[in-house]
Amino acid sequence: NDTIRDLRLTVKKEQFILLYQPIIDLSKNKICKAEALIRWNHPSRGFISPEEFIPLAEEAGLINEIGEWTFKEAVSQTARVMKILDNEFQMSINTSPLQYHKNGMKIDIWNSYLDSYGLSGKNLVMEITEGILMKPSSTVINNLNQLKNSGIDVAIDDFGTGYSSLSYLKSYDFNFLKIDQSFVRNLTVDSDDMALVKAIIIMAHKLRCKVIAEGIETKEQSDILFGAGCDYGQGFYYSKPLIASDFEDFVTHWD
Ligand code: G
Ligand code: G
Ligand code: MN
Ligand code: NA
């Protein structure tokens, strides 16, 4: 199919871009992380969402190469941002389940790449969705342990929206839970959402996980989440995902 052919070409020519969305430490009011979000600017179709092309890349066997490119691009941007910021910073990178199932993590190469920029695993978070932990195979756990050995943190993305049970939370010491934006959207008017969010935060903290709330669009949502003990916030209220140079400007002019 045409789209897969174009995708293969784009992978080869490395013609994706990454956008960066700041993540705020709610108690310190500092930019402490950013999420890297991939975009494909197709020559004739314009921007194609990763929700459309990532599944295609997975089918076409291109996901490990895309994961490799994303890693390198995000790391080089992390080095630039660290020069501007005077506090600790982590870049949060989305990963596909296939990268864990099929040994798509080249940890040794990643470590030397980080090293060449004067960075370490401590500067990175890998985001995974709970689906991959439904039946955590030994390959998946092995890859996660390699990340841990390199100091790379792991976040559960879209927490609470998958089909898995909660028991997977015992299979690994996750560092962050990202509360899905569907719970945040109506937080100020829906007491059920409020109850779920509060319970997630208490549970996460008891499991030694910090909490990142996604999709914060108003000050009211931000205040309520902070009041409920949420550690970090991300969403249009602070900033939409930005191209690299705009993200650097944003970091420069924050607070
Ligand atoms: O930014 P946006 O809302 O369009 O992202 C849509 C989805 O694409 C999100 O679920 C996100 O996790 C996923 N995504 C964004 N960037 C990447 C990436 O670099 N790799 C993978 N595997 N998924 C990504
Ligand atoms: O699945 P994942 O959480 O990785 O996807 C994040 C997606 O959410 C990105 O596509 C990003 O563009 C989008 N997003 C980020 N902040 C907001 C927000 O405040 N509101 C809405 N509606 N979408 C957001
Ligand atoms: Mn994500
Ligand atoms: Na999410």
**Per-residue pLDDT at 134:** 83
Residue-wise pLDDT for 169-213, tens only, equals 998 999 999 999 999 999 999 999 999 999 999 999 999 999 999
Ligand having the closest approach to the CA of 241: 2
Ligand 4 centroid to Cα of residue 214, in Å, is: 6
Tell me what pLDDT residue 255 has.
82
Contact 233 CB / ligand 2 (< 6 Å): no
**pLDDT of res. 98:** 92
- Per-residue model confidence as pLDDT tens digits over 22-37: 999 999 999 999 999 9
Task: Check if 70 has its Cβ closer than 6 Å to any atom of ligand 1.
Answer: yes
d(CA 51, CA 45): 15
**Taking 80 as the threshold, does the pLDDT of residue 1 lie above it?**
no
- Whole-model pTM: value is 0.97
| Confidence check: pLDDT of 163 > 90 | no
| Ligand 1 neighbourhood includes 136 CB (under 6 angstroms) | no
As a CATH number, domain 2-253 is 3.20.20.450
Give the residue extent of every domain in the chain: 2-253
Phi, psi of 169 (to 5 degrees): -65, -15
Of the two residues 151 and 134, the one the predictor is more confident about is: 151
What residues sit around ligand 3, an ion, with C-beta below 5 angstroms? 94, 127, 157
Crossing angle, helix 244-253 and helix 63-84, to 10 degrees? 30
- Ligand nearest the Cα atom of residue 180: 4
Nearest CA to ligand 2 atom 24: 215
Ligand 1 contact via 85 beta carbon (within 6 Å): no
Tokens of 70: 């994303």
CB atoms near residue 167 (< 10 Å): 10
Dihedral (CA of 48, 49, 54, 59) sign? negative
